Amino acid sequence: MRIFSGIQPTGRKHVGNYIGAIRGYLEGQERGDPAIYCIVDLHATSVAYDPKALPRYVLDTTAMLMAAGLDPDRCILFRQSDVREHSELTWLLSSVTAYGDLQRMHQFKDKSEREQELVRTSLFLYPVLQAADILIYKTDEVPVGDDQRQHLELAREIARRFNSTYAEVFVEPRHVIPDVGARVMDLQDHVAKMSTTYSSDSGLVYIDDPPDAVRRKVKRAQTDSGTEVVRAPEKPGITNLIEIMAVSRGVEPEDVEREFDGQGYGAFKEAVGEALVELLAPVRGRYEELRPDEDALRETLRGGAERARTIAAGTMTEVRAAMGVGELG
Ligand code: TRP
């Protein structure tokens, strides 16, 4: 079972990232043969960014993933740009990608509307690079948040079109979404996902927020009318907190509803704050130990890239032969 996922190198990760994606990575690490996790710095260049800060963000994300429990001896953890085959495959796959399909991508539409100066062609090609990331490892499963559904469907379409146009090289990957907590919402705005780019500071809880900040943000989270702690469409705020609580404690949402039946929002929010603090405190502690040793982090990424490259280079030999580009054999 080959498992692959990619994560953006943003400076700080939040509870939405942890619950929606990183937890799935940890689970994948146990089953993957191998599980491959990629910090996607090339994707980060598809919108305005700071070239001086990017390498630092990659190290931040590396340390955060390891603090959360990824073990470079049990998975492959690497930086996308270190394995140049991803870039080459992006160009080659663009020959089996319909222009109209890329125009229909929600993320492209959203991000291009928000972009102030320049809508980069790399933003348009973003889903093709993502397909290359996945397909180059002949991935079976991709653990990732709900917002990546459309990109995954496109990756499958690209694999199918390549296989029927050239040769049966690629595997059609499956999208694995967590049942509970796939969409952690902004604590202040329940129609928006918790997001580094768009949430206000009080709307998101960072994994490395100090315990007091975690408690304060949960306490001030927007709740809904009524007093009952139950999940319901008209109670998006409480539903979000119930899911966060369930995941933090490793129980079912029904268990949370039962436990807080009749207790009211105040007591419930206090308990959610404590559960989150308990979940995050050990991660934050390990992050503080790991992050200062940059040589060790770089060494980890180098080792990961070497292992990833071995697999990627094998696929590229097949792709080039199938497409009739480059020297044969
Ligand atoms: N687009 C993904 C996100 O924003 C990140 C990503 C890049 C990815 N390449 C990937 C996710 C490959 C899964 C597989 O979350």
Q: Which residues contact 277 (CB under 8 A, 6 or more apart)?
A: 211, 214, 215
Distance 18 CA to ligand 1 centre (A): 14
Q: Letter for the amino acid at 176?
A: V
Kindly state if the Cβ of 5 falls inside 6 Å of ligand 1.
yes
Distance 39 CA to ligand 1 centre (A): 9
Render pLDDT for 119-161 as a digit per residue (tens, 0 to 9).
999 999 999 999 999 999 999 999 987 789 999 999 999 999 9
The domains of the chain are located at 3-176+293-323, 201-289
Give the C-alpha separation, 294 to 40, whole Å: 18
Q: Which residues contact 25 (CB under 8 A, 6 or more apart)?
A: 5, 35, 37, 65, 68, 70, 75, 143
Please say if the pLDDT value at position 98 is more than 90: yes
Q: Share the mean pLDDT of the chain.
A: 93
Distance 212 CA to ligand 1 centre (A): 32
The whole-model pTM stands at 0.92
Task: Tell me the mean pLDDT in the region 274-287.
Answer: 94
Q: Are 58 and 301 in contact (CB under 8 A)?
A: yes
Kindly state if the Cβ of 304 falls inside 6 Å of ligand 1.
no
Q: Give the confidence band of 329 by pLDDT, cuts at 50, 70, 90.
A: low
Q: Letter for the amino acid at 327?
A: E
Cβ-in-10-Å burial (0-12, 13-18, 19+) of 264 comes to exposed
Give the C-alpha separation, 89 to 329, whole Å: 18
**Rg of the chain taking only CA atoms, in angstroms:** 21
Class of domain 201-289: mainly alpha
Bridge partner residues of 76 (DSSP): 36
Kindly state if the Cβ of 155 falls inside 6 Å of ligand 1.
no
* Rounded to 5°, angle at Cα 159 from 155 and 160: 120
Which of these, 2, 23, 70, lies nearest to 179 by C-alpha position?
Answer: 23
3-state secondary structure of 241: helix
Render pLDDT for 9-39 as a digit per residue (tens, 0 to 9).
986 889 988 888 888 899 999 999 999 999 9
Give the C-alpha separation, 63 to 6, whole Å: 15
Render pLDDT for 229-264 as a digit per residue (tens, 0 to 9).
999 999 999 999 999 999 899 899 999 999 999 999
Distance 74 CA to ligand 1 centre (A): 21
Kindly state if the Cβ of 133 falls inside 6 Å of ligand 1.
yes
Q: Where are the beta strands (DSSP E) in the chain?
A: 3-7, 35-39, 76-79, 141-143, 174-176
Burial 11-42 (b: 16+ CB within 10 A, else e): eebbbbbbbbbbbbbbebbeebebbbbbbbbb
Kindly state if the Cβ of 190 falls inside 6 Å of ligand 1.
no
Give the C-alpha separation, 235 to 131, whole Å: 37
Q: Quick one: fold of 3-176+293-323?
A: Rossmann fold (3.40.50)
The preferred substitution site among 89, 133, 138, 152 for testing ligand 1, maximizing ligand atoms within 8 Å of CB, is: 133
Residue 55, token pair as written in the block: 């390498």
Render pLDDT for 182-208 as a digit per residue (tens, 0 to 9).
778 999 998 888 887 778 889 999 998
Q: Are 187 and 194 in contact (CB under 8 A)?
A: yes
What is residue 318's predicted lDDT score, i.e. its pLDDT? 97
Q: Which residues contact 254 (CB under 8 A, 6 or more apart)?
A: none
Q: Give the confidence band of 45 by pLDDT, cuts at 50, 70, 90.
A: very high
Please say if the pLDDT value at position 177 is more than 90: no
